[in-house]
């Protein structure tokens, strides 16, 4: 069985979650969606009603929150204080607020610790923004997924059943915030392999990731 750690980073709309889950299933490995953890932390902050720009208050809420995430690629599930929040973490309200919460350094420190604990002895595909750069620098392979802005907006709109124009605006805004924050901004690790998925379908991306994983193992 695969015992390594695969890091899959990149902006939203590159198809990361779909291919990460499929790769994990193919490897017989676990799967960790770190974005779902930042989203659950955001739901906690929204429920508590704290000001999202109050880093101290947001950190306190996240510290007191119990975020439990499944690492089974066939069975996504996130619980906040025992409550399933799988739908709520994908809501427009959560999506609009998540960049502010994930920009708080102390929130990142808490979630990175939790992520490292979940990764444990490996055998896992981990997706996020800072996995190869911060969370698990010895991951192999480290892949940075990209796609043209048009392709990303189209995919995201398809998933959400929303209009491409408004999704494009939302993606651009979130990327801007994620890449310019002071604490571990979205950036390609120097030793990451860049994989442009614009012209590839899901099977092609998974095949390529599988090749890279076998080569690194
Ligand atoms: O991957 P997903 O789009 O669900 O991530 C939601 C948000 O969580 C991102 O826009 C980013 O602000 C934050 N995030 C992060 N670091 C990660 C994963 C997600 O800052 N490793």
| Rounded Cα distance, 35 and 32, in Å | 9
Was 70 annotated as part of a binding site?
Answer: no
Was 197 annotated as part of a binding site?
Answer: no
37-83, pLDDT tens digit by residue? 999 999 999 999 999 999 999 999 999 999 999 999 999 899 999 99
Report the percentage of the chain scoring pLDDT > 70: 100
| Rounded Cα distance, 125 and 73, in Å | 9
Ligand 1 first shell, C-beta below 6 A: 12, 34-35, 38-39, 98-99, 102, 128-130, 174, 178
Question: Hey, which of 93, 102, 133 would you mutate to test ligand 1's pocket, going by the most ligand atoms within 8 Å of its Cβ?
Answer: 102
Was 138 annotated as part of a binding site?
Answer: no
Q: What pLDDT score was predicted for residue 161?
A: 84
85-133, pLDDT tens digit by residue? 999 999 999 999 999 999 999 999 999 999 999 999 999 999 999 999 9
Q: What pLDDT score was predicted for residue 6?
A: 98
């Amino acid at each position: 069985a695969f015992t390594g750690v695969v890091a899959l980073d990149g902006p939203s709309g590159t198809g990361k979650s779909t291919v990460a889950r499929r790769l994990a299933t193919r490897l017989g490995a676990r799967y960790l969606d770190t974005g779902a953890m930042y989203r659950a932390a955001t739901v906690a902050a929204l429920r508590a009603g704290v000001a999202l720009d109050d880093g101290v208050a947001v950190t306190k809420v996240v510290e007191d929150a119990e975020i439990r995430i499944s690492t089974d690629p066939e069975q996504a599930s996130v619980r906040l204080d025992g409550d399933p929040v799988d739908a709520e973490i994908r809501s427009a309200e959560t999506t609009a607020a998540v960049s502010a919460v994930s920009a708080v350094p102390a929130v990142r420190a808490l979630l990175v610790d939790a992520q490292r604990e979940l990764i444990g002895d490996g055998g896992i595909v981990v997706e996020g923004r800072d996995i190869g750069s911060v969370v698990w620098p010895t991951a192999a392979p480290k892949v940075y997924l990209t796609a043209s802005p048009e392709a990303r907006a189209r995919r995201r709109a398809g998933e959400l059943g929303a209009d491409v124009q408004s999704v494009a605006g939302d993606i651009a805004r979130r990327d801007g915030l994620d890449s310019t924050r002071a604490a571990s901004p979205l950036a390609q690790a120097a030793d990451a392999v860049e994989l442009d998925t614009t012209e590839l379908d899901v099977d092609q991306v998974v095949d390529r990731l599988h090749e890279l994983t076998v080569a690194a193992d």
